[in-house]
Chains A and B, each alone.
Chain A
Amino acid sequence: MSSTHPSPLHLAVALDGTGWHPASWREPVARPRDLFTAAYWADLVAEAERGLLDFVTIEDGLGPQSSHFLDPDERTDQVRGRLDAVLIASRVAPLTRHIGLVPTVVSTHTEPFHISKAIATLDYVSTGRAGLRVQITARPDEAAHFGRRTVPRIQAYDSPDAQELVTDLFDEAADFVEAVRRLWDSWEDDAEIRDAATGRFIDRDKLHYIDFEGRHFNVKGPSITPRPPQGQPIVSALAHDSVPYRLVARAADIGYVTPHDADEARAIVARIRAGQDAAGRAGEPLHVFGDLLVLLDDDPAAATARRERLDALAGQPYTSDAPIFTGTPCQLADRLEEFQEAGLTGFRLRPAVAGHDLPAITRGLVPELQRRGAFRRAYEADTLRRLLGLSRPANRYAAATA
């Protein structure tokens, strides 16, 4: 690593179907018929690992994709259907060695106990490379898939009702993460003793009830799964506004944010750092990654033309919560360095077309960043936490009794 860069940047890709552009599946490289096979996902993650990326995230949802944010649609011209992200991550884990695996989990309708042991187990099957991306859902149709609660349809985002609903769902997500984290710590690292002399397999004084009590659920604990290799797998969340920024500040190791320029990036980072201080986490490392949707070609005009072609196929210009970057890997490297100076510590890139833009990241952007001394030339660590420069946390319960 070059000494000219005080802190090298971190790089992740967000995998979603054939790519983030709704017409991406129509590109010749897209392999839309393979979307429900293990080989498809294994190939994408292997490509990301060839590029030495820190991790991949895998999108998920508890209902079909839709072109509307809050309602289902009945379109037949876009990819619909997906496999469970935690299972995809588990399926590819034994086929990879270094790259982090961060599936999306939905806190609104799932059980923290199940998710905690699933991600702990992903950490075992990947030997220390697991994380999760926690997400809420305010979609009434997804609530109807579970039938346990009704979620009122949001009419206007800035209405008090909508604010109250979203705040409540994010508070639940914070509780969810807290319960999951306590479960990961509910076994001390050396709880399994196999003491033949006394016949005890575990030292039960090193297992702890978590006694989590929240507004939406209680969890007794301890986990059935021993503490995972990383101690605490990585927790991450996408955030666009005050309420989700607070979740990131309170509960996450990585927040993904979507500034459109360096000034906005600086302002968001300041808000998250302030939230971190308020949550009593001032000293703790917390990454703030910028999310960018990317279309990359060696010729900037080719990237623009490709975007126009995809938009034409989709029947409308694609818009995103994240800034859309169209250009060359070299231009993107400039942009990332500019954002990094504004306080972002890494980036999660969303390939518009997975089969095209992922290789453009790994074979175009990564070598460019390496030339600038801004990115690793080999994996320097074997766990995701260490790749991200995070230490293995002490067990909260062991600390309390020490």
Chain B
Amino acid sequence: MSKPLKQIHLAAHFPGVNNTTVWSDPKAGSHIEFSSFAHFARTAERAKFDFLFLAEGLRLREQGGKIYDLDVVGRPDTFTVLAALAAVTEHIGLTGTINSTFNEPYEVARQFASLDHLSGGRSAWNVVTSWDAFTGENFRRGGFLPQQERYSRAKEFLATANELFDSWHGDEIVADQETGTFLRDARAGSFVHTGQHFDIHGRFNVPRSLQGRPVIFQAGDSDEGREFAASNADAIFSRYTTLEAGQSFYRDVKHRLPKYGRSPDQLLILPAATFTLADTDAEAEELAKAVRRRQVSGATALKHLEFVWNRDLSAYDPDGPLPDIDPDVGDNHISKGRAQVRMYRDPLATAREWRELAAAHNWSIRDLVIETGNRQNFIGSAETIARTINEFVQADASDGFILVPHITPTGLDEFADKVVPLLQEQGVFRTDYEGPTLRDHLGLAHPDDRREERAAS
């Protein structure tokens, strides 16, 4: 008997500060106005997506000591937008990235529990970490955290938040107007946490929400990041988008679950993916090339090279050959607040490899950045994209995808109208929401059920 078809999970990321978005496109709208977010969320909900996703930024990036001005800059506050989106949608999950470094557990747990109440059980938290003093300059704590402690604080932060979520069981509020009993338990919300990073106690003041606690997402590719996700998260974001790399990551992470007493279906693996959709595959290929050229201007290409060279390269011609000088391997001083910097751990090797590539293909600086940079993952007609997405999921390269359109806020419209119906016809994607909560969409058990299971076993 053949294996039953896996159900695909789909989500949409409203791109924030980035060079994914082609802001110069005449169809591109505001990245700040609420109407943009409302349009995006309604489209994703019309398409029956599991959730929409917002990233976070806590300091504007800098290049050469100045605020980086070539990409989209500026975004609204994540919690505030998600709460407002709960008013204009009914089903779709609302996922926000919230940093565990420049926040405190009591406040973040309050905000997520509140969001879960106000959305009827649709909230999710992407727990991320930071350590850098650059971002810290905007916060009371400053740049206090040694890099090696970032996961240690994140783990304890999440554990503490879970203690707060669990400090109410869900049956304390009686609100009996006749007898005058509002609370069944005088100590509802009591907690004590003593640890390395947090030493707090008292009473949490938000009752248990519909989902018990928000769904937990995690991103991060290091060994520590994978362990953190395997032990704690409901879903992990990855960036592996070739079939083989995706399968390898998938196997690796799912194999880490049993040692935490968890089964493989308790952690979903959802890579971020871009797409270029057109009437035919050939048209889509042409469009994807045009999009890449618009994403990577000559000036953007030079700035991108500066991430690796760690030098001011403004004197170079982006349509000319790569710099013949070597990267400055000293402390990074050119580019600040940009996660991408960490992608190039050995700049000398990267520079050497890129020079060889450029020489072999006769690429200019701009050609090189376009060819080696972020690729469109799914390019083709609706049929091609639906087939490819399904192949990835059925082959266990992922459990679904978080789609990042290159036009906001309308970049998801065509996908919703053309690709989703094909996936639904194949029986691999829902035609309607089955339950009210994000846990229902993702097929995740309610934490209280798990608690009961553990108690029974």
Q: Are the CB atoms of A199 and B299 closer together than 8 Å?
A: yes
**Residue of B with least CB distance to A76:** B183
Give A65-94 as 1s and 0s: 1 = Cβ < 8 Å from B's Cβ atoms. 100000010111111111110111011111
Inside 8 A of A81's CB, which chain B residues have their CB? 168, 173, 188-189, 205-207
> What chain A residues lie within 8 Å of B175 (beta carbons)?
25, 32-33
Task: Decide yes or no: A147 and B198 within 8 Å by CB, A80-B188, A92-B87, A220-B138 being known contacts.
Answer: yes
Q: Report if B286 contacts A (CB, 8 A).
A: no
Residues of B within 8 Å of A147, CB to CB, are: 198-200
What count of chain A residues pass the 8 Å CB interface test?
81
Let me know if B252 is at the binding interface, CB within 8 A. Answer: no
A113→B185 CA distance, assembly (Å):
36
| A196 contact set on B, CB distance < 8 A | 24
- A residues less than 8 Å from B70 (CB atoms): 199-201
- The segment from A6-14, A211-219, A275-283, A340-348 found at the interface with B is A211-219
Report the Cα distance A191→B17, complex, angstroms. Answer: 15
Q: State which residues 56-114 of B face A: CB under 8 Å.
A: 57-60, 66-77, 79-81, 83-84, 86-88, 102-104, 106-107, 110-111, 113-114
Question: Is A224 within 8 A of B23, CB to CB?
Answer: no
Query: How many angstroms from the CA of A121 to the CA of B75 in the assembled complex?
Result: 9
Binds A, one of B32-40, B410-418, B433-441: B32-40
- CA distance in complex: A110, B113 (Å): 17
Chain B residues near A297 (CB, 8 Å)?
Answer: none
- Per-residue interface assignment for chain B, residues 219 to 249, with 1 indicating a CB less than 8 Å from any chain A CB and 0 otherwise: 0000000000000000000000000000000
Give the residue of B118, B188, B205, B209 whose beta carbon is less than 8 angstroms from that of A88.
Answer: B118
* Known contacts A201-B23, A219-B138; A90/B80 CB under 8 A: yes
Distance of A117 Cα from B80 Cα, bound (Å) = 9
B103 touches A87 (CB 8 A): no
A222, B60: Cβ atoms closer than 8 Å: yes
The residues in A between 177 and 228 inclusive whose CB is less than 8 angstroms from any CB of B are 187, 191-192, 194, 196, 198-204, 207, 216-222, 224-226
Q: How far is the CB of A153 from chain B (nearest CB, A)?
A: 14
**In the complex, what residues of B have CB within 8 A of residue A93's CB?**
84, 87
Q: Are A82 and B202 in contact (CB under 8 A)?
A: no
- 1/0 per residue A232-263: CB within 8 Å of B? 00000000000000000000000000000000
A-B contact pairs, 27 of them (CB 8 A): A32-B177, A33-B173, A62-B106, A64-B189, A65-B205, A74-B186, A77-B182, A78-B182, A81-B168, A81-B205, A87-B111, A90-B79, A91-B118, A94-B88, A111-B102, A111-B139, A117-B80, A118-B77, A125-B76, A147-B198, A192-B73, A192-B74, A199-B297, A200-B69, A201-B73, A204-B68, A220-B59
Name B's A-contacting residues (CB within 8 A).
17, 23-24, 32-34, 38, 57-60, 66-77, 79-81, 83-84, 86-88, 102-104, 106-107, 110-111, 113-115, 117-120, 137-140, 142, 168, 173, 175, 177, 180-189, 198-203, 205-207, 209, 297-300
By a beta-carbon cutoff of 8 Å, the part of chain A in contact with chain B is: 25-28, 30, 32-33, 36-38, 42, 61-65, 72, 74-84, 86-88, 90-95, 109-111, 113-114, 117-118, 120-122, 124-125, 127, 141-142, 144-148, 187, 191-192, 194, 196, 198-204, 207, 216-222, 224-226, 313
Beyond contacts A84-B111, A207-B73: 6 other A-B pairs, Cβ-Cβ < 8 A, are A38-B119, A62-B107, A81-B168, A124-B76, A187-B74, A226-B32
